[in-house]
Structure 1
Amino acid sequence: MTHPSCSSSLPSASKGGKGEKMRADDQQSIASSTTEAPYELKKPKSHLLNKDAKDQDLNSGPGVRPYGANGDLLDSLSRASSRQDADSIREDGDQPPGASSRLSRALSRSASRSSWNPGPPPDGGLEAWLVVLGAHFVNFNCWGFINSFGVFQPYYVDLLGRPPSDIAWIGSIQTFLVFFIGAFTGRLTDMGYFRTLFYTGVVFMLTGIFTTAQGSQYWHFLLSHGICMGIGYGCLFCPAVAVTSTWFAKKRATAMGMVACSTGTGGLVFPIMVRQLLPTVGFAWTLRTIGFVQMATLLISAFTIKTRVPPRRQGSFLDLSAFKELQYTFYVIGAFFSFLGVFVIFIFVVSYSRDVVGLSYTNALNLMMVLNGAGVPGRLVPNYLADRVGVINMFIIFAGVSGICGLSWMAVKTVSAVYPWTLFFGFFAGGIQSLFPAGASALAPDLRKRGVRIGMVFSCVSIAALTGSPIAGALISAMKGSYLAAQVFVGGSLLIGSGFLIASNIVAGREMGIKGWPKA
C-alpha cells in the first residue's frame, strides 16, 4: 500500500512529547522513499535523516534523470535502498553515517558503467587522433605488406618453379584471412577483447614473417607467409578499424582515410626494402628486417589505440537481420565484385611488366612502388570528399573508373604506357580500399553492432579476395601466358561492383524519401 502524504505514513513521529521534532522536508523525503505499511521510528537521529534525505533529493528527486536511459532503473534501486535503510533504522535504532548515500553512489556508478551511452563521438582531440595514428601503423603493416605481395610473386615463381596461379594462392589466402577472421574479431571487439586480439595478432604476424625467412618449399611459404601472417593481420585490422570508427562521426571518413593511406606508405616502404636488401643481404635477412620494422611500429599502436565504447557482452557473432536491409545487401554484393578484381593488379603488375612489357625484375619493382604510392592520395582525397558528398557515392565513382581502367589494361604494352596506367589505377584502387571500411561503418549506425556488421562485410568480401587472383592466374595459364582474359575479368568485376553500389544508393534514397540522388 502506497501512502501519498507524510502524515499518513508517519502517524507517531510528529505527535506527543516523546521523540525528536523532525523537519517537514525530512518527513517528505522518507515518505516518498517508502512503499510499505505505516511504521514507527524508534529514536530517530535527525542528523542522519537530514543527510540521507539530501542525498536522495540530489540523486533521485522528481524529474531528475542523471543517467539518461537508466534513470528508471536507478529510481527503483534508490527506492529499494531507501526502504532498506529505513527498515534498518526502525530495527536497530542506529545507522552508520552516510550509509544510504554511499549505497546510492555505488549503485549509480554500477549503472553508469553498464550504460551503453558513452556520449557522442568527440570527432577530434588528442586522444582521438592518437587512435588514428595507432590504427595507421596497424594498416601500414597489414595492407602495406599485403599489397606488396607483387614483389614476391615472380620471385617465388622462379624460386619454386610453380605456375603463377599456385603462387597467387599464397597472397590470396593471406588477404582472405584478413577479411574472413574480421567477422569474428569484430564481434570480439564489441565484447571488449580488443587488447587480447591485438597482442594475438602481433604474435601470429611476427611468427609468420620470421618463419617465412626460413622457408624453402612451397608449403613452407603457404603456411607462414599465407596462413600464419593472414591470421595475424585478421586479428589486427578489423578491430583497429572498428575502434577508430567509434571516435568519429562527421569526420569519420576523413579519419578512416588517414588510416587507409598507410596502405600506400607501407606499399612504398616494403618494396623499397626488398629492392635494396634482397641483392645484398639475401631473402632471409630481408624478411627479418621487415619483421623488425613491423615490431617497432606496432609498439606505437599498442600505446595509442584505446577503446571508447563500453563492451557489449551479449549478442551473437552474426546479425543476419542486416541482410533484410536492401541497402546493406546491395552494398555487400557491390563490395564483393569490386574486391574480386582489384587485388589482381597488385599481385600481377610486376609479372606483367616483366613478361609482356619487357622490364627487368628490379625495374619492374618500381611499378609496385608507383602503384602503392599513388594510393596515398587515392586514399586521402576520396575520404575527404566523402564527408561532403557521401561515402557510397565516392565508392561508386572509384569502382566505376577502376573498372574502365581495368579494361584499358589490354592496350598497355609499352614502358611509356605502363607507368602512367599504373599511376592512374593505383589512385582509384586505393580509393576503393579506403572507402570500403568507411562505407561499412556508415551502414552500422548502432555502435553496439558496428563491429559485427563491419566484420560481416569483411567475411563476405574475403571470398572475393581469396578467389580473384587465383582465377586470374588460372586464366593466364589457360591462355598460355596471355593476360587478355584476366584483364577482362578485372574490368568486368569492378564495373559490376559499381552497379550494385548504385543500387544500394537508390534504395537508400527511397527509404529516406529523397527525390534525386541521396548523399549516402
Structure 2
Amino acid sequence: MASEKLDSAPQPDLELATDGDKYINDASNGTINESSKNTANGTSKDASKDIPKDGVAEKAPVQAGGHPGAPSPPPDGGLVAWLQVASGFVLFFNTWGLISAFGVFQAYYESGVLFQATSSNISWIGSIQSFLLQFAGLIAGPLYDRGYLRLLLVTGSFMIVFGLMMLSLCTEYWQALLAQAFVIGIGAGLLFVPTVSLLPTYFSTHMGLAIGVASSGSSLGGVIYPIVLYRLIGQIGFPWAVRCLGFIALATFIVPLVFMRVRVRVPKPRAIIDWSAFTDAPFATFMLAVLIIFIAQCTLLFYISFYPVNRSLTSESLGFYMTAIFNAGSVLGRILPNALSDRIGPFNTMGPLTLVYGTTICCLLAVHNAAGMVVEGIVTGFFSGMVIALPPVCFRMLTKNPSMIGTRMGQGFAISGLGLLLGGPSAGAILGSDEPLNWTGIWLYGGVCGLVAGLIILAVRVMRAGFTLKVKA
C-alpha cells in the first residue's frame, strides 16, 4: 500500500543509527505504510520499495514485544546524550581551547627567543590556525553527514597531537607556521564541525544548554593550556612544555573516541556544497555577522596578553596570565547565554550581547592599571563566550533540512572563518611595529567590529520574526 501523501513540505530521508526493525513513517501525521506493518508482522517484504520520495526512512528502537516503536525524537537528555556533551567538551577543550591559548604563544614568539618575526607575521600563525579550524568544515561537514564520524575523530585527534609534537621541534618561523597553523588547524577543523553537528541530534529544548556546556570546554582549555605552557617554559623550556600539551591532548582524546556515537545518519549521499545556503538571505547574512565578530574575537585573543605588558600596566608574569583570565571569564559566558537562548531564542540572545561585547572591547582604552586590566579581562571574556557557543545554535535554527546540518554548519563556519584569517594580521597591521604602538586604533577596530556584527544579527532576527518583541527567535 502506498504511503499517504504528505500535507507538509518534503522532509529529508533520515536514518536513526539505532538497532531495530525498519519501517516507513509518514513525516506529517505519523501513519505507517503497509510495508512497515509487514515488517512488524515478520514478513520478508522489502520495505525500502515503498519509501516515498518525501517520506522519512528510519530505524527505530524495538520496544517491548519486539515491535518497532514510533520514530523517536531527540532524547533531550539521558546518559548517552550527556556522554556526547562530555565528549564535545573534550573536543572543544583541545580545539578552541588550544587556539584560545595563542595569546601566550604570541607573547613568547614576540620575545624573539625562538625566532625573529614581526607582530603581524606572528599573528598569521594563529589566524591561519583559527581559519583552518573553520574552513576544514567544508570537508568535515559532508563527511559527518555520510557517517564518517569515527574517521574524523581519529584523524583530527592524531593531527593535533602530531602537530604539537612537531611544534616542539621548531626553531624557525616557517616551521612553526606549518606545525601550529596548518597541521593543528586542519586537525581541529576535522573535530569542531562534527561536534556542533552531532549535539542537536541528541537535544531539542535543551540544545542551547548542551552546546553551551560542551563549548565551555574551550574556556577550560583556554585556562589550562596557557598556564601549563607559561609555567613549564620557565622550568623545562619551550620544547618540552609544548610536548606536555601534546600529552594532555592525547590523554583527553580517549573520551570522545570511546563514547561519541552518531544518532542520525543520511542513508544516501548528499551534495558536498549546499548552494541554496548562499541564496538564503538570513543564513548568508548571519555568516557575514559571524565573520565580522570573529575579527573582533581574534583582536582580543592575540593581543590581550601583549597589551598590558607593552603598556606597563602589569608585570610580565600577569600579562601572560591575562589569556587565562580572559578565558576563565568566558566559562559562564559559554553556558548562561546558551541556556537563555533555549527560553527566548538564540537571535534574541546573541544580538544584544554582541553589542555589549563590542562596547566592552572599546572600554580597554579606559584601563590604566593592573586591577582594571583583570576586571576588563573577566568582563570581556564573559561576553566573548557566546561568540563560540551561540553561532552553532543559530546555524542549526537557520537550517530547515536537518539531514544537511553537517554540510550547512561546515559552509557557515568556513565562510565566517575568513574573519579569523583576517582578524589577527589586520589588527597587527593597525598596531604597527614602531613605538608607541597604536593600541587606540586596535581596540577601536575590534570594538566597532563587535558593534557592527551585533546590528547585523539583530537584522537577521527581524528577517525571521519581524519587529515583534515577544517572539522567540
**TM bucket by the smaller chain?**
0.7 to 0.9
**Distance (Å, rounded) in 2 between the aligned partners of 1:161 and 1:77:** 68
User: Residue 183 of structure 1: CA displacement?
Assistant: 2.2
Secondary structure of 1:103's counterpart equals: coil
User: Once superposed, which parts of structure 1, at least 4 consecutive aligned residues long, lie more than 6 Å away?
Assistant: 70-74, 76-79, 108-112
User: CA 1:331/1:269 → structure 2, altered by over 3 Å: closer, same or farther?
Assistant: same
Any residues of structure 2 matched to 1:49-448 within 5 Å, and which?
67-69=24-26, 75=34, 102-104=43-45, 107=47, 115-116=57-58, 119-158=72-111, 159=113, 160-448=115-403
Q: Secondary structure at the match of 1:357?
A: coil
- The worse-fitting range, judged by mean Cα deviation, of 454-463 and 319-328 is 319-328
Alpha-carbon RMSD across the aligned residues, in angstroms, is 2.7
CA distance in 1 between partners of 2:212 and 2:79 (Å): 18
Contact 2:129 2:181 in 1 (8 A): yes
Contact 2:99/2:129 (8 A) holds in 1: yes
Distance 1:312 1:383 in 2: 31
* 8 Å Cα contact 1:242-1:450 kept in structure 2: yes
Q: Is residue 2:454 matched to residue 1:498?
A: yes
How far did residue 274 of structure 1 move? Answer: 1.3
User: How many Å separate the matches in 1 of 2:251 and 2:126?
Assistant: 24
1:146 & 1:516 partners in 2: Cα distance?
37
Aligned to 1:88: none
Q: Deviations over 1:356-405 (max 9, x none)?
A: 13433322122111101011011111111111111111111221111111
Write the letter of the residue equivalent to 2:103.
Answer: G
- The 8 Å contact of residues 200 and 207 in structure 2, kept in 1 or not, is answered as yes
**CA–CA distance in structure 1, aligned partners of residues 404 and 279 of structure 2:** 15
Shift of 1:469: 0.9
Tell which deviates more after alignment, 157-166 or 475-484: 475-484
Unaligned runs of 5+ in 2: 2-21, 60-70
Cα 1:66–1:149 change in 2 (3 A) is: closer
Q: Deviation of residue 263 (structure 1)?
A: 1.1
Tell me how far apart the structure 1 counterparts of residues 176 and 149 of structure 2 sit (CA, whole Å).
29
Percent of aligned positions with the same letter in both sequences? Answer: 29
Change (3 A) 1:229 1:122: same
1:425 CA drift (Å)? 0.3
* Preserved CA contact (<8 Å) 2:118 2:433: no
The range that moved more, 227-236 or 361-370, is 361-370
Higher mean displacement: 222-231 or 427-436 = 427-436
Counterpart Cα distance in 2 of 1:298 and 1:66: 36
Aligned to 1:35: none
| Separation in structure 1 between the aligned mates of residue 376 and residue 148 of structure 2, nearest angstrom | 43
Question: So what's the TM-score if we normalise by structure 1?
Answer: 0.79
Q: CA deviation at 1:196?
A: 0.8
Deviations 1:472-502 (A, max 9, x none): 0011116742211111110111111001101
Rounded to whole Å, the distance in 1 between the matches of 2:400 and 2:75 is: 16
Alignment partners' CA distance in 1, 2:359 and 2:31: 58
**Cα shift readout 1:128-147 (whole Å, capped 9, x = no counterpart):** 00011001100001011100
Pair 1:488 & 2:444 matched: yes
Task: Give the secondary-structure state (helix, strand or coil) at the position aligned to 2:311.
Answer: helix
Is 2:407 aligned against 1:452?
yes
Read off the aligned partner of 1:145 and give its amino acid letter: L
When you count helix as a share of all residues, which structure comes out higher? 1
**Superposition TM-score, scaled by structure 2 size:** 0.86
SS in 1 for 2:191: helix
